[in-house]
Amino acid sequence: MTDARTLIADLASAIAGGGIEIVDLTNLLSPDFPVIVLPSEFGQCEPFRMETVSRYDGNGPAWYWNNISMNEHTGTHFDAPAHWITGKDVPNGTVDAVSPQDFFAPAVVVDISAEAAADEDFIVTRPFLEAWEQANGPIPPRHWVLLRSDWSKRVGTLSYLNLRDDGAHSPGPDADAMRFLVHERDCVGLGVETVGTDAGQASHFDEPLPAHSILHGNGRFGLQCLTGLDRLPTFGAMIVAMPLKIKGGSGSPLRVAAMIPA
Amino acid sequence: MTAARERRDPLARKKLRHVPSGLRSRAMHALSARAAQGRFALQACTECGTATHPPRNACPLCWGELAWTDQPSGAKVLCETTIRVSTDLYFREHMPWRMGKVLLDAGPVALVHLHAALHPDDRADVRMMIDRGGNAALFAVPAGDTDLMSDPQWREFIVPIEGRIVLVSDARNAVGRAMVKELHAKGAELVVAGLPGPALASDATDAVLTLDGVQAIALDVTDATSVAEAASRIGGPLDIVVNTARHVRAGGVSANPGFVEQRRAFEVSAMGLSRLASTFAPMLAGRPNGAFVDVLSSAALVGDAAQAGFAAAEAARHSLLQSLRHEMRGAGVRVMSVFTGPVDDADHQAVPPPKVAPARIAASVAEALLNGREQTCVGDVAQDTMERWLTDPALLAREKNL
């Protein structure tokens, strides 16, 4: 086995000098970045807010800083198992207890951009994933499964949340697809470009909100509002996703980056 | 759509706005407080019954104690004069200025601002107005239906809507929507309709938001950045801000407090007002008839156990409005409070009638502007609450929270 010190040194030089490119998969955390909208009988997600404490002025002549506030699920964010009722008893299910080992995991990118462009309610099914594996090779264990929908290209337009009179419309997986990824492919979690791991209309599925329910019930994670997935290779990207250590938190905004072969 | 902006000489020095002197006796401030409510009230002696004006500390006939009582507003014009020269910075800008003496039906003779159409021996209706400096002033207008707006002197006491540029802070809720329609119908040149997120695909085809003379912009009063961006998008002159934003939710203090909703109510009602005011006040201050109108709940006057957080947030809003009124007085910008009870909208589905129709609130805001009324109560609940609050606030607090 290669000496770990050599490995780390090699990694550092590859990141610094080429060989490995770092791709930022994070959207801008700004007050106007959309947050998920729930039916009005439920509590709502607070968007990002920023108020200046001082900016080289009377309140702080030499320094600039802001007070910020947001929901744990605002902007590009991480869902811990405790986010969902199915994951409430999962050991180490809150965001502060997630093993730091899980912050680093390889990814497989499933491209559904053509399907999502043709059908904004496109549902990723088990047969779709099996056909994908036929074409691209098996999804390896302990990988993030990233759904590249190109939805991030809609950020800043109405079609990102895509709210209509009958709710939100965006792609996502069904329950069988989730069981396949979790139980048969042992995924670390599901990463998406949309505002939730579930499809816009997923609350109307026979098994509602299957991504949240099945991922978190089995101690897996979610990454939402990702961008730049179109720059990742199908196999071979390494994801670095480190949520804030919020005591007892259900998730966290975070910076997500990928290492890819340059 | 784009509004035709006012054309002016770009090199001309910025015009400073002046207001009439604010110095008054305490008795006169008491008159102003009643004028602000739209009442025509004079002091009457509790012993001999004689009505008196101007306000004083004792009955000029018998030294009896005086009490404020509503009086008939009719009068006969006795004499008139036209002032052509003044050392007062405000009046200098508005010369010539007509004044007169009237014999009030209530008894006293009063010095009044005189409408252009009035002459000695005419019957007049005397309005108790608030001048640009925030103080009560009597303005005599012709009795019966007359077009008051043609008189530039009258326009100094009110806020014209026609040809003005107006911002409605939240046009997403029912009241704001009705407000956009109303102000547009009243001839505003441009109604900027603020829409808090999330934006809906249907906004682009909405019948009200796409009216010619209505411009929809993203505006969320809980977000300072959004308010600043909205201001930069309006850019040019802004005459009137109507704040319709609010967050109505049930919830108690110890029982079912709903902290998220309570906090949001404060963010919208109280902090939201501060964000709007701090951003838009300078724009309003530069205008000849600037006004900030706030639509707030009569729950601001007294705690309400059923919606404790909302009532507290509205009370904070009421308090901030009073401070804002003080700040804007020097610039001659009117700060108007329009109190309403439960509105007949989605927020008050659980509340039994009487409820106020959003269109009625909108009409009241237009009426408040066009009459320069500082404080208005729309609908039975708000009127009743205000009346009881003025009479016995401690009793009202008890009765509302039995």
- In the prediction, which pLDDT does B236 show? 79
Residues B66 and B126 occupy one common structural domain: yes
Residues B170, B97 share a domain: no
Same domain flag for B137 and B226 = no
Average pLDDT, integer, range B145-163:
92
Select the residue from B222, B262, B271, B278 to test the A interface by mutation, using most A Cβ atoms within 10 A: B222
Contact between residue A25 and residue A258 where contact means Cβ atoms under 8 Å apart: yes
By the CB < 8 Å criterion, does B225 face chain A?
Answer: yes
Phi, psi for residue A159 in degrees, rounded to 5: -80, 5
Residue-wise pLDDT tens digits, B173-222: 999 999 999 999 999 999 999 999 888 878 888 899 999 999 999 999 99
Cβ contact (<8 Å) for B198 and A37? yes
Interface touch B201/A159, C-beta < 8 Å: yes
Domain match, B135 and B225 both: no
Query: How do residues A13-31 score in pLDDT, each as one tens digit?
Result: 999 988 999 999 999 999 9
Query: Is residue B192 domain-resident?
Result: yes
**What's the mean pLDDT when you consider all of chain B?**
93
pLDDT at B333 over 80: yes
At B285, list the tokens: 């201050």
* The last residue of a domain, from among B155, B183, B208: B155
Q: What is the DSSP letter of B269?
A: I
| B76 and B190 housed in the same domain | no
**For the CA atoms of B169, B173, B179, B185, what is the dihedral angle to 10 degrees?**
120
Domain finish residue from B121, B155, B189: B155
pLDDT < 70 positions in chain A: 1
Q: Which of B200, B203, B222 is nearest residue A49 as measured by Cβ atoms? A: B222
- Looking at the partner chain, which of B200, B226, B264 has a beta carbon nearest the beta carbon of A31? B226
Q: The domain spanning residue B204 has which CATH number?
A: 3.40.50.720
Listing DSSP states for chain A in one string gives ---HHHHHHHHHHHHHHSSEEEEE-B----TTS------TTS------EEEEEEEEETTEEEEEEEEEE--TTSSSEEE-GGGSGGGTTSTT-STTTS-GGGGEEEEEEEE-HHHHHH-TT-EE-HHHHHHHHHHH-PPPSS-EEEEE--GGGGTTSTTTTTEETTEE---EE-HHHHHIIIIIS--SEEEESSSSSS-TTGGGSSSSSHHHHHHHHTT-EEEESB--GGGS-SEEEEEEE-----TT-SEEE--EEEEEE-
Q: Which residues of B touch A71 (CB under 8 A)?
A: none
Question: Is residue B13 pLDDT above 90, yes or no?
Answer: no
pLDDT tens, position by position, B75-95: 999 999 999 999 999 999 999
Q: Are residues B92 and B188 in the same domain?
A: no
- Residues of A with Cβ-Cβ distance to B200 under 8 angstroms: 158, 163-164
Residues B59 and B208 in one domain: no
Question: B2 pLDDT exceeds 50?
Answer: no
Point out the residues of A that are catalytic: 83
Q: Does B260 reach chain A within 8 Å, measured CB to CB? A: yes
List the structure tokens of A140. 């390896």
Strand B123-130 versus strand B74-83 pairing type: antiparallel
pLDDT above 70 as % of chain A: 100
Identify whether residues B151 and B169 lie together within a single domain: no
Same domain, B307 and B179: yes
* Structural domain for B249, as ranges: 165-400
Q: Where are the domains of chain A?
A: 22-261
Which ipTM value was assigned to this complex?
Answer: 0.76
**Which of B195, B221, B225, B262 is the best residue to mutate to test the A interface, defined by the most A CB atoms within 10 Å of its own CB?**
B225
B109 and B150 co-located in one domain: yes
Are residue B268 and residue B315 in the same domain, yes or no? yes
CB B387 within 8 A of CB B302: no
A162-181 residues touching B, CB cutoff 8 A: 162-165
Query: pLDDT confidence of B144, banded at 50, 70, 90?
Result: confident
| Interchain CB distance below 8 Å, B197 and A47 | yes
Tell which of B112, B131, B155 closes a domain: B155
Distance from CA of B196 to the nearest CA of A (A): 10
How many structural domains does chain B have?
2
CB contact under 8 Å between A34 and B222, yes or no, is no
**pLDDT score recorded for residue B188:** 97
Asked if the structure places residue B239 within a domain, the reply is: yes
The nearest alpha carbon in chain B to A156 belongs to B199
pTM: 0.88
Instruction: Name the minimum distance, in Å, from the CA of B382 to any CA of chain A.
Output: 27
For helices B308-329 and B272-285, angle between their N-to-C axes, nearest 10 degrees: 20
Query: Does B200 lie at the interface with A, CB-CB under 8 angstroms?
Result: yes
Is the predicted pLDDT of residue B383 greater than 70, yes or no? yes
CB B158 within 8 A of CB B288: no
pLDDT tens for each residue of A191-240: 999 999 999 999 999 999 999 999 999 999 999 999 999 999 999 999 99
Count Cβ–Cβ pairs < 8 Å, chain A vs chain B: 43
State whether B52 and B183 are in the same domain. no
Pick the CATH number of A22-261 from 3.30.360.10, 3.30.200.20, 3.50.30.50, 3.30.1340.10: 3.50.30.50
